[in-house]
Homo-oligomer: A and B are copies of this chain.
Amino acid sequence: MRLQPRNGRAPSVKDVAAAAGVSLGTVSNVLNRPAVVSTATRERVERAMADLGFVRNESARQLRAGTSRALAYVMLDGGNPFFHDVAEGIETAAEDADLSLFVCNSSGRSDREAKHIDRLVQQRVQGILITPVDPDAAHIAEIGQRGIPFVMVDRLSQDGGHCSVAVDDVLGGRIAVEHLIDRGHRRVAFVGGPPSIGQVRERLQGARAVWAEFGMPEEDLIHLPTEALTVSEGRSAGERLAGLPTRRRPTAAFCANDLLALGLLQHAVTAGLRVPDDLAIVGFDDIDFAAAAAVPLTSVRQPRQELGRTAARLVLDEATNPEHVHEQATFVPALVARASSGTVRR
């Protein structure tokens, strides 16, 4: 392989044509409509391409085609395995459609998110999937106004102005707390925040609803707010919880996601609380690390990969189907009971 034909420049179709002794159009045909070229010429051209180490220039193709052959996913928190699993689901769908997937991570920062979106628009990606920091931010609305197909992931659209996929978070909150009531718990903590995150609000809302329906006193569902949905915030919530006087201390905690639950679990063990006997714990998302915790974590399962696949399907439909109508795909969460909420009390 001679890989640097014209002093440093990558070989172009022209170079291939020259090397193969055919015209430029023939090379293009070999690439795009191999059927119309005679076998002999085709092989000669392919040989020349291999010899030169020819690689199509994607920017030129793109410029010509007017659009790139890529999708993008902007995720909220790359440190949370949940989003990685969603991305995997998107990627399988993108692969099936022979599209690349650009994965970006806003790390919960709106400025970074806006910057990523800017770049993606410049790249003319075919569609944007996003789990937004703030679904009402101006730079989110602009995506749709630009006519770029886009789908909100893990967050339902309020106004139906675009597609979205998510589980029913209110229901998720309900089944988590109902499970704890079932297990005999009469004093439960909800661990989660900040309330600016919609998922947190809805999971809490579901928890409160079912708590009231069972006729439990409102003050016995205790909200332990956190600054973020992270392991270390879970740990600090654990400190506050362990610090409560025994008769005020909840016997169970429902955490707004698994990272919080893992942090809480860790602090509880450190503080000498037995899980689930002294403190039962339920998380949300059912990331792989939940099942892998030293006390396997009961969690509300989201169909992570399927969320991603569905989101990709919707964005592709919007990109290709002129009859497309926006769709809010809602999935039903399911409780996965493990040891951390294991025993029935009394």
Contact = CB atoms under 8 A, between A and B. Distances in A.
Contacts of A58: 59, 119, 122-124
Chain B CB count within 10 A is highest, among A8, A78, A147, for A78
A236 B109 CA distance: 39
B91 A84 contact: no
Contacts of A57: 63, 122, 124
Interface in A211-226: none
Interface string A68-97: 100000000011010011011001000000
Contacts of A23: none
Contacts of A293: 266, 293-294
Contacts of A266: 292-294, 296
Interface stretch (A99-107, A181-189, A243-251): A99-107
A142 to B, nearest CB: 8
Contact of A294 (B78, B121, B294): B294
Tally of this chain's copies: 2
Interface in A118-155: 118-119, 121-124, 145-147
Nearest to A119: B100
Interface of A: 1, 3-4, 8-10, 53, 55-60, 62-63, 66, 68, 78-79, 81, 84-85, 87-88, 91, 100, 102-105, 107, 118-119, 121-124, 145-147, 231, 235, 262-263, 265-266, 269-270, 275, 288-289, 292-296
Given A58-B122, A78-B84, A121-B55, A102 B105 contact: no
A79 B288 contact: yes
A109 to B, nearest CB: 12
Contacts of A1: 145
A231 B291 CA distance: 10
A78 B270 CA distance: 30
A10 B295 contact: no
A292 B231 contact: yes
15 contacts: A3-B145, A4-B147, A9-B66, A55-B122, A57-B122, A59-B60, A78-B87, A84-B84, A87-B105, A88-B105, A103-B105, A231-B292, A235-B292, A265-B294, A289-B289
A3 to B, nearest CB: 5
B53 A59 contact: no
A107 B9 CA distance: 32
A235 B289 CA distance: 12
